[in-house]
Amino acid sequence: MFKINSMAYEVPLVSDLYAERFIQFMENRGISRDALLEGTGLKDVLSGSVNTLLSMNQLTKLMESSQRFIDDDLAGFEFGKMLDLQGHGLLGFALLKQKDFRDLANMIVQYLRVSLPILDMKVSCSGEEIRIALIDVWDLGNLRPFFVKVYMGSIYALTSLICRRFYFEFDFAFSHDDENWKRLAPHARLSFSASQNQVVLPLSGRPARDGNEELSYYLASARSRDEVKRNEHMETAARVRELVSRYPGREGTLERVGEKMGMSARSLRYHLKMAGVSFHDIRNEVRKTFAVRYLKETSMPLNKIAEVLGYSDQASFTKAYRGWTGVTPGDTRRKFSSTPS
């Protein structure tokens, strides 16, 4: 079911801003930062001094720690509601100007794909309703229901600007208090044991909205336009890291990644430049992560590693690896093969 290489779980993908918002969410529930981060190895990583990206392994460690303190099944949805337009750091004012509800739903999905690449999503339209289905990408284990609820809460927050009725369908069951659910998501209905996790948004009966009033509300508390654009560029870079980690080989070229993101190689290169990174650097970072893991933890032949990582031959891989680490792949393998386990 899960096709992502295990090495990809070590690749930085998710902005630490989401982790900081989650820590704040838990602190509001009376859980201290130190207690939450205890045993996760993230205290230094989340020092707050510089912005960074977390790998899936780091993110799941944080969420696993939080489960010790969470005693209600709606916490994930409640946190997801905090990830509205401003919560994602995107603001997405263009969303508010969309006249076509279908286009708006597609834009919301694209925003979430870029900024929070944990679950994938698919939008489909049928008659008088739109469905946003959640698709598993990573093996999240027991955390899967929690992440699903986070996504459901965020979709609710993003679409509640223009929709007042929602149907949430879960492929699992969880206990909940009806009054708390009504407080969190008025006019929403739940169903369990569905075929998939999805949100159904009826197109009929939507209330009229005052786009200018809503836009003014967000503009009043928004950061500057330049800062918004910078965040968009950074999140594009995060999406590139995710795709390259999925396709570290010959499918992970600038052109192929651009195709998967629906933009030209030139446009993608521009976004990365504005984020202060290059595609070459991102791809090398991912390749280095994979290469070191393969050399330390597997007996895969060097020519096979070179092939998996998209190099034309072993010599090219060896040259690149020496440039990253100062030693050859053979040196790394001999060092760890001779280390007592």
pTM: 0.64
Q: Which residues contact 165 (CB under 8 A, 6 or more apart)?
A: 187, 188, 201, 202, 205
pLDDT in tens, 6-34: 788 888 888 888 898 899 899 988 999 99
Confidence of residue 204 (pLDDT cuts 50, 70, 90): low
- 143 and 196 inside one domain: yes
- 103 and 67 inside one domain: no
| 326 part of a folded domain | yes
Q: Which residues contact 320 (CB under 8 A, 6 or more apart)?
A: 284, 287, 311
Rounded mean pLDDT of the chain?
80
pLDDT at 231: 58
The one-letter code for the residue type at 42 is: L
Taking alpha carbons only, the member of 84, 72, 68 closest to residue 21 is 84
The whole-angstrom separation of Cα 42 and Cα 30 is 20
- 133 and 211 inside one domain: yes
| 76 part of a folded domain | no
| 305 part of a folded domain | yes
The whole-angstrom separation of Cα 336 and Cα 333 is 5
What is the mean pLDDT of the segment spanning 103-132?
A: 78
Taking alpha carbons only, the member of 57, 5, 56, 1 closest to residue 309 is 5
Domain with 312, as residue range(s), is 225-337
- 216 and 232 inside one domain: no
- 94 and 187 inside one domain: yes
On whether the CB atoms of residues 63 and 143 are closer than 8 A, the answer is yes
- 92 and 184 inside one domain: yes
Q: How far apart are the first and last CA of the chain?
A: 32
